[in-house]
Structure formats: structure tokens, C-alpha cells
Amino acid sequence: MGQIGLLLALLLLAACSIGPTPTAIGPPDAAGPSVPELAAGTVTEDGITLSVTAEPAVVSAGAPIQVEAVLEHDRPDPLIVSGSGSGIISFSVTRLEDGLTSGLPAMTSDCARHELPPGVPLVVPFSKSGGYSPDDPNADFLELYFADPALTLPAGAWRIDVATHGLLGEGCDGPPLQLEVALVVTVTD
């Protein structure tokens, strides 16, 4: 199975097992099948949309991957979200072949007010948060992962999970804002 076939099989496998369908978009190539330049996904609930892009969708090990999340809404008034002062969007990564993961993101437990004006998207670039114990069997990976502010990964098919965390309204006492997008990128040797 060629590299493109493997990528498509992994995208289909991920789509069947995790959240929204990952989408790879790339320009056609006159010489043959196109290699996706971008992985993208979107989820909308109650007029609130989380869109995520990862570029490139196929990258060499150690090369940076640019990930960006955009949260926007179609309401006429500002959207008020209360939640962690560290932000209302988190990121994590997991290698599909073996479950190697950055783990759950870390967020502060305060109750901060986040206001999203109408027509003004909240754009959040990829960021890392979390922690680990030196006794963790994946400590070597985690140490390298957290030491580099850029998103660089070893070879494999990687799922990038992006999620919102917060409650609609003031004072951390409203309905939850829980939107999740999962994208798959392929990192080659």
C-alpha cells in the first residue's frame, strides 16, 4: 500500500473511531494523486463553530506542524464563556499506532470571563500544556515534546485533538460549551 493509500486508510480508521470526520484538502497534481497540504475539521452546535486546521497534513519527522483553532458564533450579541483563565481551547496529540500521547491538557481552575464579540473570531494557535512524572514510561517523549514550543512529532499517524472547555454565561454556572475536532496528520521518517 502506497503512502497515500496508508494515509487514506488511517484517515478512515480515525473517522470511524473518533468524533468528526477528519478532512484532508490539497490541490490536484497533474503527475498523480495529490498529497494533502492541509487537514481541516469543523463542528458547529447552537450557532457556535470550532474550526481547526493543521498544515502540512504530511510532514517529515521533526518538521513543524502549524495548527490553528478558530472559535466563532452567529449570535447578534457577544458570546460570554466562563472557564479557565488559561483559555477555553486546548490541544493534545496521540499517535494512532501505539497510543503514545501528550496526555490530557492542563488548565487552571479559576473562573475567568471570556467574551467573543459578534463577527470577531477567536483565533488560537497550537499550544502545549500538561505534565508528567519522570517515572512515566513515555517520559523521554514527553520531555522532548514539552521542551519545544513548536509542534514537532516523531514518525507515525498522529491525531490532533482540539476541544473547547467552559460554560456559557457568567460565573461558571451555565450550560457547557463542549466542541471537539480531531484531525489526523502523517509524520514520515
pLDDT, averaged per 10 consecutive residues of the chain (189 residues), comes to: 35 35 40 71 97 97 97 97 96 97 94 96 96 93 95 98 96 94 97
- Report angle CA 37, 41, 98 to the nearest 5 degrees: 80
Supply 135's cell numbers: 517515572
pLDDT value for 145: 96
Q: Is 23 exposed, middle or buried (0-12, 13-18, 19+ CB in 10 A)?
A: middle
Supply 110's cell numbers: 479559576
> Rounded to an integer, what distance in angstroms lies between the CA atom of residue 172 and that of residue 178?
14
- Report angle CA 127, 85, 182 to the nearest 5 degrees: 40
> Rounded to an integer, what distance in angstroms lies between the CA atom of residue 159 and that of residue 177?
22
CA 167 from chain centre, in angstroms, equals 20
Go through 67-87 and write b for each residue having 16 or more CB atoms within 10 A of its CB, e for each that does not. Answer: bebebbbeeeeebbbbbbebb
Residue 139 CB coordination number (10 Å): 12
pLDDT value for 35: 59
Mapped onto helix, strand or coil, the DSSP state of residue 14 is: helix
DSSP string, 153-181: --SEEEEEEEEE--EESSTT-S-B---EE
pLDDT value for 51: 98
List Cα–Cα distances, 160 to 54, 85, 145, in angstroms. Answer: 8, 23, 14
